Structure 1
Amino acid sequence: MKLDQLKVLRAVVDTGSVKAAAESLNRTQPAVSQALKALEFQTGTELFDRTGYRLELTPVGRRVYLQSLRVLSEAEDLTQLIQHFEKGQEETITIAIDAATDLDVVTPVLAKVQARFPDTRLVLRGEVLSGAIGAVQSGEAALALAPAIHVMLEEGGFDYRPVARSAMRNVAAPSLLDAMDAPGTLADLRRFHQVIARDSGQASGLFDRELGVQKGQRRWYVNDLHMKKQLLVAGLGWGRLPEHMIAEELAQDALREIVLPHTHLSFGIEVFVFRQRKPAIGPVAAYLWNAFEECSL
């Protein structure tokens, strides 16, 4: 049984006649008829009822036809995949995404890539703090999106572009704020647990210390910001989260911002897309980079 015979079967069913199928396939009627006869010989039964004006599938013919559609679909997918690699397009691309990055910045670009390069697998690798930088430096990720500062990216030797701005806010559940009894200084927070997201990378440089954590502070550690938010909403601690992640909780009074006189607990962040300078990249990674350039600030 050959793929060509299955294509003929599909064309005859779709058009309803050998003549119309021959025209759609740009073949002669005898060639189409011969392909059908060969297929029926191999299956050992007639696939069409030829007594009427229009060819109709027999019960066996319908089962063969439905199965042939699956076979042809897989064969066409395989052909497309081979063409994909022949063009030098990457099999897999990894993007490191810091947990503080608003995915609404990322998803429009990913949608473009999915539509244009459906056979390239994208791996979205969640990171915290220095993890995104480490993933790009090691070559484990083609590019990354993460909050950073210009000097840090310059010193790391990255190509970079700003893509979004946000803010990090220190928050706690109303019940915990009531227990804090109007704190006036950072020292007043020490006896309440601070929930801290653990660095997913090999912390160094600016990351080689616990930013925003005072000495003597009671603390719990988590591996991701969603777990951190759950603990904060439950009143089990206080901590800093990106504002896009807690907008709904702030609006519903499930979380409140911690405000201390003369102390700035909140701060703005700038999210960058970055990659190694002058990388050896394929067409999909290049398209990704250019797509992020279109939405850069």
Structure 2
Amino acid sequence: MKLDHLKVLRAVVETGTVKLAAETLNRTQPAISQALKALEFQTGTELFDRSGYRLELTPVGRRVYLQSLRVLSEADDLAHLIKHFEKGQEETITIAVDAAANPDVLTPVLLDLQSRFPDTRVILRAEVLSGAIEAVQTGTAALAVAPAIQVMLEEEGFDYIPVDRSFMRNVAAPSLIGAMGAPATLADLRGLHQIIARDSGQATGLFDRELGVQKGQRRWYVSDLHMKKQLLATGLGWGRLPEHLIADELAKGILQEIKLPNTHLSFDIEVFAFRMRKSSSGPVASYVWNTFEAASMSLEARERAGS
């Protein structure tokens, strides 16, 4: 059974006549009739009732037609997939995404990517602290979206694009803040548990220490920021989270910011898309990079217009 015969069957059913099917497929009428006869010979029965003006499917013909639609659809998918690989497009692309990065920055890029390269599988790796940098350095991820320091990205040999800014706040549940009394310095929080997101990388270089954690501090560790937020909301400790992740909790009073008169706890972080400078990117990874680049230029233009 040939795919061409199934395409003829589909055209005849959709148009209702051999003549219109021939025009649709740019074939002659005898060629269409011959293809139908070949298909009927293979099935051993008539597929059409030819007693009326329009050809009508017989019960067997209807079953063959419906099954042929599935076969043709899968054949089309296979043809698209083959063209995808013929163009050298990646089968899979991995993007490391730091948990502190606002997903709203990534969503438009992913929507565009899915529309343009539907046959490329995308893996989003959730990372914490040095995890995103390590994933790109080891080639586990083609690129990453994560908070970073420009000097460090330069020294490590990355291409990088600023894509967002975030504000980190130290927060706790109102019940725990009430139990704190009136702390004036960070040292006054040592007796309470600090909830810390464990580094998903090897924590080398700049990350080879616990940033924002003082000596003697009681601490609990979690593997992701959503678990950290849950523990903070239940009053089990205090900790730092990006503002976009806790905006609702702050507005509803589920969490409150810790304000120390003699210590500045909150700070801004800059989020970058970055990749290794000397790596050879495939067309899909390059397209993602160029999309981030265009978005960054648009953001800079809006910021200049607003200033």
Q: What TM-score does the superposition give when structure 1 sets the normalisation length?
A: 0.98
1:107 corresponds in structure 2 to 107
2:73 corresponds in structure 1 to 73
**3-state DSSP class of the match of 2:281?**
coil
Amino acid at match of 1:27: R
Describe the superposition over 1:261-282 as per-residue Cα deviations: whole angstroms up to 9, x where unpaired. 0211110000000000032111
2:216 corresponds in structure 1 to 216
1:136 corresponds in structure 2 to 136
User: 55-64 or 135-144, which moves further after superposition?
Assistant: 55-64
How many percent identity over aligned positions? 79
2:205 corresponds in structure 1 to 205
- Is 1:160 aligned with 2:126? no
**3-state DSSP class of the match of 1:245?**
helix
**Separation in structure 1 between the aligned mates of residue 54 and residue 184 of structure 2, nearest angstrom:** 87
**3-state DSSP class of the match of 1:97?**
strand
Residue correspondences, number: 297
Shift of 1:50: 1.5
Amino acid at match of 1:133: I
Amino acid at match of 1:3: L
Shift of 1:146: 0.4
Describe the superposition over 1:217-252 as per-residue Cα deviations: whole angstroms up to 9, x where unpaired. 111101010111111111111111110000011111
1:149 corresponds in structure 2 to 149
Describe the superposition over 1:12-40 as per-residue Cα deviations: whole angstroms up to 9, x where unpaired. 11111111001000001111111111111
1:51 corresponds in structure 2 to 51
- Is 1:184 aligned with 2:184? yes
**Separation in structure 2 between the aligned mates of residue 181 and residue 223 of structure 1, nearest angstrom:** 30
Amino acid at match of 2:85: F
Amino acid at match of 1:111: L
1:122 corresponds in structure 2 to 122
**3-state DSSP class of the match of 1:24?**
helix
Gaps of 5+ in 1: none
Amino acid at match of 1:94: T
**Separation in structure 2 between the aligned mates of residue 186 and residue 276 of structure 1, nearest angstrom:** 37
Describe the superposition over 1:46-95 as per-residue Cα deviations: whole angstroms up to 9, x where unpaired. 21121222111122211111111111111111111111111111111111
Amino acid at match of 1:292: F
**Separation in structure 2 between the aligned mates of residue 54 and residue 176 of structure 1, nearest angstrom:** 79
Shift of 1:180: 1.2
1:233 corresponds in structure 2 to 233
Amino acid at match of 1:269: I
Q: Which runs of 4+ in 1 moved over 6 A?
A: none
- What is the RMSD of the two structures over their aligned residues, measured on CA atoms? 0.9
Amino acid at match of 2:133: I
Gaps of 5+ in 2: 301-307
Amino acid at match of 2:141: A
**3-state DSSP class of the match of 2:262?**
coil
Amino acid at match of 1:229: K
**3-state DSSP class of the match of 2:292?**
helix
2:258 corresponds in structure 1 to 258
2:38 corresponds in structure 1 to 38
**Separation in structure 1 between the aligned mates of residue 183 and residue 41 of structure 2, nearest angstrom:** 87
Shift of 1:139: 0.8
**Separation in structure 2 between the aligned mates of residue 20 and residue 154 of structure 1, nearest angstrom:** 65
